[in-house]
Structure 1
Amino acid sequence: MAASMEQINRLLSSGKYKPLLAVIKGFRNGAIYGAKVRFPHALVMTFLFKNTSLIESMKVILEATFIHSRNLAYFVFAYKGLTTLFRFLEDQKSQYHSFIAAFCAGFVVFGKYNKVNEQINLYLLSRILYGLAKLAVKRGYIPKPKSDPFPLFAAVVWGIVLWLFEYERDTLQPSLKSSMTYLYDDSNIWHSLRDFLFYNKR
């Protein structure tokens, strides 16, 4: 057993088969990271907004954790596998490899609609819009602001989301709608000191 473990360690540290082993390690990291991110989020959101039994709540939490962990593992595996294949076929690394590999893996893994995939895709959308705006400034496509644009950005984001919540709330993503209902609607309702201070009662 010790001898075989030593052989494995020697192989891993030799650098041999590194591209293939990186794909496998990417799968492992995707699974671990997905579970670490989703479990606490699902735990908080389920116990905060769902009125179900403990067994049903745990089932929801574990199912969401499994889906996130599995999908992220599949995506990292597919993305790293495809970029490695492209680099092998063309004998060099190119920028379009990343886009094509992620496009294909994203279509297969995150293209199926479910609540977890919806949240992940929306999270990424907000990040890439912000990143593309910064890239446009960096490349000189739009002039660099003379003052900090973050306050205006925050004002526009919050103005739009509260308008949508008040007048077009069916267009909002369910977990966001639940959070905003708790913050803005449930705070309008109370019948006694108990449900004013300690819990919400409709």
Structure 2
Amino acid sequence: MSASLFILANRLVNDPSYRPFLALIKGIRNGIVYGCKIRFPHALVMTFLFRNGTLAQKVKAIFKATKTHAANLAKFVFVYKSIRLLAKITFNEIKQYHTLVAAFIGGYLVFGEKNNVNEQINMYLLSRILVGLAKLAQEKNIIPNTKQPIFPWFGALVWAIVLWIFEYHQHVLQPSLQSSMTYLYHDSNRWNSIKNLLVYNK
């Protein structure tokens, strides 16, 4: 019985008529797995480096951040792929504006809630978008494609702006970035013994 069910299940998952709907399930699965892989190590390191509290509070914060990241990716994948599937069923094709609309709706519904995880994901994407749009503008000859290396100038500009903001308008930066920069640039100016000069921070 179990062997015949396995054969039937394999037939169903490979049936082309079911593939678009099964892709929604696979998308949810991949969103959860990817969210856990990305967020868990990040939350683990950042929590133990910069967060105060008991061990239980730290563990709870790590799992909460991981759960939020994984759940949000899974939800977004489901919304995005569902809307594109509806467009395909309705119009027999997916046009570029269908992709924009699907991602816009998913972004609003899932990543529009302001929390630390969503803020980090959106900021991460924004930086990648800016670099990608610059490359696309060069490909389309909107901006000149210079032979001189651009990346050193990009790095210089990014670091000049972020350190200026940190030193003079720190409150507008994301809390985790404030913590990281405080640790690197301000805490390194404070010590009163050899121990908290070389062994530990404070």
Q: TM-score range by the shorter chain?
A: over 0.9
Return the alpha-carbon distance in structure 1 between the equivalents of residues 158 and 138 of structure 2: 20
Give, in whole Å, the separation in 1 of the partners of 2:166 and 2:106.
Answer: 33
What is aligned with 2:6? 5
Deviation of residue 87 (structure 1)? 1.2
Partner of 1:154: 155
Alignment match, 2:114: 113
CA distance in 1, matches of 2:115, 2:142: 36
Which residue in 2 is equivalent to 1:188? 189
Aligned counterpart, 1:59: 60
State the alpha-carbon separation in 2 of the partners of residues 116 and 163 from structure 1: 25
Partners of 2:77 and 2:184 lie apart in 1 by 36
TM-score normalised according to structure 2 size: 0.97
Distance in structure 1 (CA, Å) of the matches to 2:88 and 2:8:
29
For this pair of structures, how many residues does the alignment match? 201
Scaled by the length of structure 1, the TM-score of the pair is: 0.97
Asked if 1:87 corresponds to 2:88, the answer is yes
Residue equivalent to 1:47: 48
Shift of 1:141: 0.6
2:88 equivalent to 1:125: no
Show CA shifts across 1:155-190 (max 9, x none). 010001111111110111111110000000111111
The residue aligned with 1:24 is: 25
Q: CA deviation at 1:5?
A: 1.9
The Cα shift of 1:191 comes to 1.3
Equivalent residue for 2:144? Answer: 143
Alpha-carbon distance in structure 1 between the residues aligned to 2:6 and 2:54: 46
Match of 1:173 in 2: 174
Q: Percent identity?
A: 56
| Paired amino acid for 2:60 | K
User: Is residue 33 of structure 1 aligned with residue 73 of structure 2?
Assistant: no
Q: Secondary structure at the match of 1:34?
A: helix
- How far the C-alpha of 1:4 sits from its partner, in A, is 1.3
Gaps of 5+ in 2: none
Shift of 1:3: 2.0
How far has the Cα of 1:2 moved from its partner?
2.6
Deviations, residues 96-137 of structure 1 (Å, cap 9, x unaligned): 111100000110011111111111111101110111111111
User: Any idea what SS the aligned residue of 2:144 has?
Assistant: coil
CA RMSD of aligned residues (A): 0.9
Q: Superposed, which structure 2 residues align to 1:91-106 within 5 Å?
A: 91-106=92-107
Q: Which amino acid aligns with 1:77?
A: F
2:69 matched to which residue of 1?
A: 68
Q: Which amino acid aligns with 2:100?
A: F
Secondary structure, aligned partner of 2:14:
helix
